[in-house]
Structure 1
Amino acid sequence: MSKHIVFYILMFITTSFWAQMHEVGFFIGGGNYIGDIGNETYINPNQLGGGILYKRNINTRIALRAAFTRLSLSANDADSENAIRQLRNYSFTNTINELGIGMEFNYFNYDITYSEESHTPYLLFEIVAFNYNVVSAEVSPNNYEYKSKTSFAIPIGIGYKAKLFDKFAVAAEIKARYTFVDNLDYNNSSIQRLKFGNPDSNDWYVFSGVSLVYSFGRPSCYIPPTY
């Protein structure tokens, strides 16, 4: 029994050792906001965004990742189908700088060195810290003072990745972020004009895009040991 345990431990260590392939790349796409202003469509990229990405494949099913994203968020009540929002006619633009770390869970085994394992859908779970602007004071009517603020979000995403050629791979991804704030749209309960919407509903934002990564490191994402 103990020999079997040792065997499986050694097999796990060996496969994990060979599984450590790295990926670096960039991504580009669009972002959209979900909240108290504008269109209420969940996936509606209307502002350009992008960033850089690093992944470390633990095995053929799991990859750790870190990404920096910069995107703009914009919404206009004129684009809403809600008559009350159209009459109110508010709009805003904000900029998000985001750092996220998390894990990808591949639905199929993924290894670009084997054609039969060179593509898969995946789930993405992350923890995100992001920086954005808020209204801090009203200097004069319709003239505001702004400051930078940092908060956190819990994202969940889905994607599909595939080998492009050689050591390059591409992916398409949609990530929704639930934030713990209600002022991405400059909502401010202490300023009458900026006091609007549902105070019990926090803002969301979504990023939809494509990425290109280059793989390097060990010869493959996973090499089964031979005994």
Structure 2
Amino acid sequence: MRLLLLVSFLFCFAFAKAQTYEVGLFAGGSNIIGDVGSTQFIDPVDLTVGGLFKWNRSDRHSFRASVIFSNMVGDDNDSDDVSRDLRGYKYNYNLIEASVGIEYNFWEWELYTGKPQIVPYIYTGITGFQYEAFRLDQVSNQLVEEDTDRGLAIPFILGVKYNIAPKLVLGLEAGVRYTFTDNLDGSNNEDFENVSFGNINNNDWYVFSGVTLTYAFGRKPCYCNF
């Protein structure tokens, strides 16, 4: 009997708080931190939408996967920098990303307690993205689309979530993605290095900020009280 209780306890412990899943949507805006357009770090401009899935492995962390689509817009006329405003470069293209990683809760997140909860969290992992690469055309002195390119990024997301219903979770988050390219804004196309401009020693970042709405499902957490 003691052995049975021990095995039951270990089994229950292994799966405790681990059978809750969330699936839902992200909606918000985007901006690029680079050499063209606004100099604001968080400046959501165009519509950004996507889907996400979470596996709540414990009350403190979740495995998370997402796919997000955005229209990336940058215009020097929106900048507070006089030199950019006079230059007048602009771009407008689509970007899609897929990301996997870990979401960590600053304190316990237990969906099935029946009590209202407000919990801040952070997320990081690895992101792959595809975008339309631009370059500077010397004839028109404007940015023109060159081809489609791909890259990797490291996401850093800070957010807060609230269970608005027993199985519905509303979140508010802002996240930067550090990329390994300096050409999200067309300033440093590797195939046209002779027309590079801006700070070519710093890679670009892009930012998604918005809201998430997820639905929780799956087996309720198992708590073993012996």
Classify the TM-score, shorter chain. Answer: 0.7 to 0.9
Partner deviation per Cα, 1:89-132 (whole Å, 9 max, x = no partner): 11111211000001111111111211447331111112100000
**Counterpart contact for 2:135–2:186, Cα < 8 Å:** no
What's 2:102 paired with? Answer: 103
Pairs within 5 Å for 1:42-81? 42-81=41-80
What's 1:151 paired with? Answer: 151
Distance verdict in 2 for CA 1:191–1:105, change over 3 Å: closer
Aligned residue pair count: 219
**Counterpart contact for 1:137–1:146, Cα < 8 Å:** no
Q: Distance in 2 between matches of 1:36 and 1:123?
A: 27
Deviation at 1:176, TM superposition (A): 0.4
Q: Distance in 2 between matches of 1:197 and 1:137?
A: 12
> Counterpart amino acid of 2:13?
T
Q: Distance in 2 between matches of 1:136 and 1:172?
A: 35
Q: Distance in 2 between matches of 1:126 and 1:225?
A: 32
- Describe the SS at the equivalent of 1:113: helix
What's 1:126 paired with? Answer: 125
- Describe the SS at the equivalent of 2:156: strand
> Counterpart amino acid of 2:105?
N
In percent, how many aligned pairs have the same letter?
34
What's 1:207 paired with? Answer: 208
> Counterpart amino acid of 1:200?
N
Q: Distance in 2 between matches of 1:143 and 1:87?
A: 15
What's 2:164 paired with? Answer: 164
> Counterpart amino acid of 1:183?
N
- Describe the SS at the equivalent of 1:63: strand
Deviation at 1:201, TM superposition (A): 0.9
Deviation at 1:55, TM superposition (A): 0.5
> Counterpart amino acid of 1:175?
G
* TM-score for the superposition, normalised by structure 2: 0.87
After TM superposition, the runs of 4+ consecutive aligned structure 1 residues lying more than 6 A away are 136-140
**Counterpart contact for 1:38–1:80, Cα < 8 Å:** yes
Q: Distance in 2 between matches of 1:10 and 1:44?
A: 52
Distance verdict in 2 for CA 1:114–1:69, change over 3 Å: same
Pairs within 5 Å for 1:132-147? 132-135=131-134, 144=144, 146-147=146-147
> Counterpart amino acid of 1:126?
G
The one of 14, 17, 26 aligned to 2:15: 17
- Describe the SS at the equivalent of 2:203: coil
Partner deviation per Cα, 1:148-198 (whole Å, 9 max, x = no partner): 111100010111111111311111111100101011112236265x52111
Deviation at 1:49, TM superposition (A): 0.3
Residue 84 (1) aligns with residue 83 (2) = yes
Gaps of 5+ in 1: none
Deviation at 1:140, TM superposition (A): 7.2
- Describe the SS at the equivalent of 2:127: strand
> Counterpart amino acid of 1:217?
G
Q: Distance in 2 between matches of 1:130 and 1:145?
A: 17
Deviation at 1:143, TM superposition (A): 8.7
**Counterpart contact for 1:123–1:158, Cα < 8 Å:** yes
Q: Distance in 2 between matches of 1:24 and 1:201?
A: 36
